[in-house]
């Protein structure tokens, strides 16, 4: 890998437009996909992407190196996307996150999903609540660690874990019934 | 058996730092294999959706570049110690102005009002008693301007009042608040003084209403302006001190105890006229303009 994100960001702090463009080229697509997943629409997602990078240009100096540059970018993008969200992101319900801790034993939902058709899973994904979809996006599309996701969402790492399992459970429930029954 | 259930999402995502142990378990455990497979399904669906999102159009970066080029944030960063107060006046400006004034009434501390009213009442009584000797204008000219100068210093000069923080946090400009306070104090004192003057007119037919009013209004203007400006720009004690010095000079000039040239200057200052009014207005305007930009407390810290 040539220049790291951190080096690029430091150059951006000094007003280097070329470094800024490189940073954009590296992350814009993933950020846009994330924003579109949250908002469900292209237009507002593009706006969020644009505002994210304008904020990066203006606030590069405020990056405190306490997280990865990528985590920081996703955090900014998330705030910009939430501003554009119709209604609200259903408030994370701490009780749900706390109660549905993943059981240490494999569950029946896993079997349902494991046997499901990929196209059916993709269709079920579209019905998921934004709260669940975004945690899956961060884990499997952006391929972030749980610690990174926790920083982006501003929640404890344990919550990320339970939210992931909740998201999978919701996904399994959204699958067509006959597949679920076939799985049992 | 101890299943690595919690590690399986990362295992399926391929981001587990050391997958060997989990790998071995998954191969031996049918349940965990199903679990891992379910996560793989989730992963391929999620990654598939993300991959299907079209790459951002070049126009987006062009728009970003245009906006940061237009804004040039780093070069033109200017610190605004005074935030811009661009609030709409609203549909009822008079009602708002009245509200602003009545609120200042409660914010000005009560001793200010009590002392000013007491001074005016005592001044009025004394003036009535000496009116037979024709000295009422002099008494009014001595008492009313001093009361006004002290009240202005007490009401406008301090930012350490208990509600100062709260007032500073309202969307109303601090300049407007300051002007409202000055208007209120001078308005109340002026009205009360006019009442006192009206009560004295029958006792003082020679000077008449205009003569009596001019007697106290003349010195009131420079004394209040001086007191206001120095209280706001520096601190109330300085404003009061300067106003009292001028007041004392005037008193000495009236009794003929000081140099005649100096007395003439003081007398001109205390006679209502275009020059004095303009000068006072300029002083007040400077104080109002500068007041929010002052580093409050600096004068206190360096020992003044």
pLDDT, tens digit, for every residue of B188-207?
Answer: 999 999 898 888 888 877 77
Q: What is the pLDDT of residue B165?
A: 59
Nearest to A157 by CA among B49, B26, B10: B10
Alpha carbons within 13 A on the beta-carbon side of A25: 8
Please, are residues B202 and B130 in contact by the beta-carbon 8 Å criterion? no
Q: Is the pTM of this model over 0.80?
A: no
Average pLDDT, chain A: 81
Q: Taking 90 as the threshold, does the pLDDT of residue B112 lie above it? A: no
In B25-165, where do the E strands start and end? none
pLDDT at B216: 86
* Tens digits of residue pLDDT in B238-256: 888 888 888 888 888 888 7
The domain limits of chain B are: 5-70, 89-293
Among the partner-chain residues A20, A34, A114, the one whose CB lies closest to the CB of B34 is A114
pLDDT at B99 over 90: no
Is residue B136's pLDDT more than 50? Answer: yes
Does B300 have pLDDT greater than 50? no
Residue B2 dihedral angles phi and psi, to the nearest 5°: -90, 105
Tell me the average pLDDT across B102-116: 82
Supply angle C-alpha A30, A31, A33, rounded to 5.
65
Q: Write the residue in A114, A116, A140 that is nearest to B46 by C-beta.
A: A140
Q: CA nearest B51: which of A29, A168, A128?
A: A29
Q: Does A70 touch chain B if contact means CB atoms closer than 8 Å?
A: no
Closest chain B C-alpha to A32 CA, distance in angstroms: 7
Question: What's residue A74's pLDDT?
Answer: 93
Chain segment B2-54, per-residue pLDDT in tens: 788 888 888 888 888 888 888 888 888 888 888 888 888 889 889 888 888 88
Question: Which band of pLDDT confidence, cut at 50, 70 and 90, is reported for residue A137?
Answer: very high
More confident residue, A73 or B173: A73
Tell me whether residue B94 is exposed, middle or buried, using C-beta atoms within 10 angstroms of its C-beta: 0 to 12, 13 to 18, 19 or more: exposed
pLDDT at B299 over 80: no
Answer for the pair B104, B181: CB distance below 8 angstroms, yes or no.
yes
């Amino acid at each position: 890998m040539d220049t790291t994100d951190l080096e690029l960001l430091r150059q951006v702090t000094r007003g280097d437009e070329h470094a800024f463009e490189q940073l954009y080229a590296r992350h814009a697509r993933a950020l846009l996909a994330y924003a579109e997943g949250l908002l469900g629409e292209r237009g507002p997602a593009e706006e969020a992407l644009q505002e994210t990078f304008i904020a990066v240009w203006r606030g590069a100096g405020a990056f405190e190196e306490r997280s990865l540059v990528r985590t920081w970018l996703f955090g900014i993008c998330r705030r910009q996307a939430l501003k554009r969200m119709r209604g609200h992101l259903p408030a994370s319900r701490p009780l749900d996150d706390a109660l549905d801790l993943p059981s240490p034993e494999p569950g029946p939902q896993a079997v349902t999903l494991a046997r499901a058709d990929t196209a059916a899973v993709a269709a079920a994904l579209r019905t998921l609540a934004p709260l669940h979809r975004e945690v899956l996006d961060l884990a499997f599309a952006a391929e972030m660690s749980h610690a990174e996701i926790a920083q982006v969402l501003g929640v404890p790492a344990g919550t990320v874990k339970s939210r992931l399992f909740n998201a999978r459970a919701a996904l399994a429930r959204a699958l067509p019934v006959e597949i679920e029954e076939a799985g049992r | 058996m101890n299943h690595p259930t919690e590690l399986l999402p990362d295992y399926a995502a391929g981001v587990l730092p050391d997958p060997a142990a989990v790998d071995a378990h998954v191969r031996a455990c049918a349940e965990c294999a199903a679990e891992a497979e379910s996560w793989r399904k989730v992963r391929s669906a999620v990654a598939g959706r993300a991959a299907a999102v079209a790459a951002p159009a070049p126009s987006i970066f062009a728009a970003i570049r245009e906006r940061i080029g237009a804004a040039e944030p780093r070069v033109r960063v200017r610190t605004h110690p005074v935030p811009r107060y661009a609030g709409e006046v609203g549909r009822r400006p008079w009602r708002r102005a009245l509200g602003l004034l009545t609120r200042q009434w409660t914010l000005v501390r009560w001793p200010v009002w009590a002392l000013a009213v007491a001074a005016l009442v005592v001044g009025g009584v004394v003036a009535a008693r000496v009116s037979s000797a024709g000295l009422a204008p002099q008494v009014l000219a001595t008492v009313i301007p001093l009361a006004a100068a002290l009240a202005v210093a007490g009401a406008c000069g301090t930012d350490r009042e208990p509600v100062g923080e709260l007032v500073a946090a309202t969307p109303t400009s601090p300049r407007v608040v300051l002007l409202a306070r000055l208007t209120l104090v001078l308005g109340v004192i002026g009205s009360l003084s006019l009442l006192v003057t009206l009560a004295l007119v029958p006792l003082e037919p020679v000077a008449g209403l205009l003569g009596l009013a001019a007697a106290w209004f003349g010195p009131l203007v420079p004394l209040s302006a001086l007191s206001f400006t120095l209280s706001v720009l520096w601190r109330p004690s300085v404003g009061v001190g300067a106003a009292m010095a001028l007041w004392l000079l005037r008193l000495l000039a009236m009794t003929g105890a000081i140099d005649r040239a100096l007395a003439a200057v003081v007398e001109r200052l205390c006679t209502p006229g275009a020059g004095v009014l303009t000068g006072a207005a300029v002083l007040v305007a400077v104080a109002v303009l500068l007041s929010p930009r002052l580093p409050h407390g600096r004068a206190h810290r360096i020992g003044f």
